[in-house]
Amino acid sequence: MKPALRRGWRDLNTVQFGMSPAHALTLGPVDTATGSFLDLLNGTRGLDLLGEEARRMGLPDGHVDALVRRLARAGLLDDARGGGPAADALRARSEVMDRLRPDLASLSLTTSEPGEAIGRVAARRSLRVLVRGAGRVGAMVASLLSAAGVGEVDVRDVGRVQPWDVAPGGLPPEAVGDRRDEAARRAARRCAPDRPPRRGPRSPRGQDSAGHSLVIVAPRDDVAVHAPSFAAAESLIASGTPHLYAGVVEATGVVGPFVLPGETACAGCLEEGRTDRDPAWPRLVAQWRSGTGRTHEVRPCDLTLATTVAGLAAAHALAFLDGRIPSTAGARWEVSLPGLSWHSRPVWAHPACGCGAADKGEGEHPSEDAVSHETMAEQRPSRKSRRKAGTQRPAGTRRAHV
Ligand SMILES: [Zn+2]
């Protein structure tokens, strides 16, 4: 049984696995003997031994197999030896495992197949991610991904670390004066639970997007955060590299859109949509951009807001790297000080954008009905995941609304 789910009896014959509504399930009816038998499913016994114990407890033949099948279908079982060769290699490194144990337990809640969670954690090691921008947000995202087990986290930026770039979890105070990109790479490496995998001949440094599973675009320049340019992402669109925007503009934190090139809305779609809604948008952006670089003032970037944005961006990045489409696909999540309530704004694929996402799929064209867009954008991903979860749940197990 997945130890991450706390167990409790709702009544004499119904067990609840998990506490929080997002992942809790109930199982019933379960008789008392079967209930006691559940305690034995802790990964220390194989099926043969479990069969013997069941006979000793007076449970009928075949009961164990049926129960195990039922629990597996409900996504409640893990496999202490599953996950494939990469997972075996990870298990053998106990100091690395100990670092990642809470993350692994968390993944066990969002995966259904036995052994799937450790398989995904192990797979992170072979991934390459590039972070563009090593300010407060970018450096922290790089460190978070590295700490979560992503094998290769590269960082691109220019210039040298300034005192105001320093942030807990990002660039350390002793890096002030060092090259930004090198300092951020070093900081990320220091957070890694394991030594970096050996760089193969096919992963040369220097090519911007080649071979990266994901690129995080986290500019220090707040105009680039607020109005990301299609031109800056063209190479990512052309190479089909998934990318995610994140940053702080004034007192607002932004995460998204997550872009699957040619499939979900990109920076160009965002720009076209804004121009449709506000004819003054291009004029404003041109003025903001022309001011960039000329001003030497330090731009606003609240430390806690930057940390919040980095955390959410890294979480969306990991969701994708672990095989899901994050809810920032087709949306931007925004949070502003001092209220700090997150909300998502839909970003629709635009037919005038060269990325081609508007030609794909249903309902992606922008319309006047912003309210229904908002609702749809919020429901789209969750509806999909609910449906998926529903198919994995057999009769007898129910989502717990508690
Ligand atoms: Zn586009």
For 164-196, write each residue's pLDDT tens digit: 999 999 999 999 999 999 999 999 999 999 987
Summarize the confidence of residues 370-378 as an average pLDDT. 32
CA of 274 to the centre of ligand 1 (A): 12
Residues 43 and 23 placed together within one structural domain of the fold: yes
CATH of the domain at 209: 3.40.50.720
Name 302's Cβ contacts closer than 8 Å, sequence gap at least 6: 248, 251, 337
Query: Residue 224 pLDDT more than 80?
Result: yes
CA of 259 to the centre of ligand 1 (A): 9
Name 68's Cβ contacts closer than 8 Å, sequence gap at least 6: 41, 47, 50, 77
Summarize the confidence of residues 6-33 as an average pLDDT. 92
Residues 151 and 256 placed together within one structural domain of the fold: yes
Residues 363 and 384 placed together within one structural domain of the fold: yes
DSSP state of 197: P
Residue 1 lies in a domain: no
What's the farthest any 2 CA atoms get from each other in the chain? 81
CA of 371 to the centre of ligand 1 (A): 22
Residue 39 lies in a domain: yes
For 105-136, write each residue's pLDDT tens digit: 999 999 989 999 999 999 999 999 999 999 99
Number of domains in the chain: 3
Query: Residue 101 pLDDT more than 70?
Result: yes
Residue 396 lies in a domain: no
CA of 78 to the centre of ligand 1 (A): 41
Query: Residue 45 pLDDT more than 90?
Result: no
- Three-state SS letters, 220-279: CCHHHHHCCCHHHHHHHHHCCCCEEEEEEECCEEEEEEEECCCCCCCHHHHHHHHHHHCC
State the pLDDT at residue 295: 58
Residues 211 and 292 placed together within one structural domain of the fold: yes
Residue 134 is which amino acid? A
Q: C-alpha 238: how far from its chain's center?
A: 23
State the pLDDT at residue 399: 55
Summarize the confidence of residues 310-324 as an average pLDDT. 97
Residue 256 lies in a domain: yes
Summarize the confidence of residues 238-261 as an average pLDDT. 97
CA of 328 to the centre of ligand 1 (A): 15
Q: C-alpha 48: how far from its chain's center?
A: 38
Q: What are phi and psi of 345, to 5 degrees?
A: -110, 130
CA of 155 to the centre of ligand 1 (A): 25
Alpha-carbon separation of residue 266 from 230, 236, 254, 317 (angstroms) = 8, 10, 15, 16
Pairing of strands 252-259, 343-346: unpaired
Alpha-carbon separation of residue 43 from 1, 50, 68, 80, 276 (angstroms) = 7, 10, 12, 6, 58
Residues 69 and 97 placed together within one structural domain of the fold: no
Name the nearest CA neighbour of 309 among 217, 187, 174, 380: 217
CA of 233 to the centre of ligand 1 (A): 10
Query: Residue 208 pLDDT more than 70?
Result: no
Residue 16 lies in a domain: yes
Spatial separation of the C-alpha atoms in residues 258 and 24, rounded to whole Å: 28
Spatial separation of the C-alpha atoms in residues 206 and 302, rounded to whole Å: 32
Model confidence band, residue 199 (pLDDT cutoffs 50, 70, 90) = low
Residues 167 and 112 placed together within one structural domain of the fold: no
For 271-286, write each residue's pLDDT tens digit: 999 999 999 999 999 9
CA of 269 to the centre of ligand 1 (A): 4
Residues 290 and 167 placed together within one structural domain of the fold: yes
Residues 294 and 339 placed together within one structural domain of the fold: yes
Domain that holds residue 55: 7-77
Summarize the confidence of residues 338-365 as an average pLDDT. 86
Residue 291 lies in a domain: yes
Q: Which two tokens stand for residue 298?
A: 């330090």
Query: Residue 150 pLDDT more than 80?
Result: yes
CA of 139 to the centre of ligand 1 (A): 27
State the pLDDT at residue 248: 98
- Any idea which of 44-48, 216-220, 336-340, 380-384 has the lowest mean pLDDT? 380-384
For 54-99, write each residue's pLDDT tens digit: 888 888 878 888 888 889 888 999 988 889 999 999 999 999 999 9
Q: Where is pLDDT greater, at 394 or 213? A: 213
State the pLDDT at residue 388: 36
Model confidence band, residue 365 (pLDDT cutoffs 50, 70, 90) = very low
State the pLDDT at residue 200: 58
State the pLDDT at residue 152: 95
Residues 102 and 32 placed together within one structural domain of the fold: no
CA of 111 to the centre of ligand 1 (A): 31
CA of 279 to the centre of ligand 1 (A): 19
pTM: 0.86
Q: Which two tokens stand for residue 20?
A: 């929080």
For 291-306, write each residue's pLDDT tens digit: 765 556 899 999 999 9
Residue 369 lies in a domain: yes
Residues 91 and 72 placed together within one structural domain of the fold: no
Residues 24 and 166 placed together within one structural domain of the fold: no
Query: Residue 205 pLDDT more than 80?
Result: no
Residues 330 and 264 placed together within one structural domain of the fold: yes
Residue 401 lies in a domain: no
SS3 10: strand
